Structure 1
């Protein structure tokens, strides 16, 4: 199943809701249609604030300057990937998004406590027009809430390096972690 995630912004609660609408253990469409819109927003705001949320972002000019690569403008891109989070980002998850040297990075939004029975690990796609720099080494950047000690501990255990502390966002302050996957 292909979906268009190019405009998804993980800090935008409405966009997160749209991502969740595609979540189910068998990959079929599953919406929150039986829950009021405001209830969805409240629930997801709570998730973002109070759970170990891993937001993996592409670093580079496209991301930093908000440019949209030419090859994205007329394509429907992105796929769903659902499996239990096992405290490790798999290299094969990234390779699935490679195409003709274009660095289509797969990113994960993982909110395990609320989707324990679904095994929810949503793939979000971010893209770099000219591929990752330094001989196609992909840069993954993970934002983890500074208020969640278990998440910070897990980041260190899984090979992430703290690159900046006390980064401000609309949910408060967080730490910025970075991991390289070649």
Structure 2
């Protein structure tokens, strides 16, 4: 069957078997290997992508179901200017990854959380990532990484507001 969807802002299409999972369409047909396939049971969360702006485990979604919808993968986090997303930077700054296998799903969930709650508590972060398993870090550095990204974005917003205020009063 033919599928067509928007992936990371680009229209894509392909001929697939109706039973093909979205994770395999992304990895095998589109070459977007940042989305990891980990457990084959929907328990680990390494395969989290956004489907129409909501995080989903792509191993539980048929590619045919995603046809006509918008998908965002970890490759879509990078900013247009080539700069890393603050969540990606936070994971680097605070050592939020060790083996890196769960990282794409964690990054996608963290970005989704911060887009909805720019100042989450540790408990809110832990709840957001509760559907994902990290076998290496013990989660402390992941939570710290997401908090770093939230603080970084808050500082940028504050600086932009201050800059706009000073520009507005100067005229």
TM-score by length of 2: 0.30
Larger fraction in strand: 1
For the pair shown, the structure with the greater C-alpha radius of gyration is: 2
Larger fraction in helix: 2
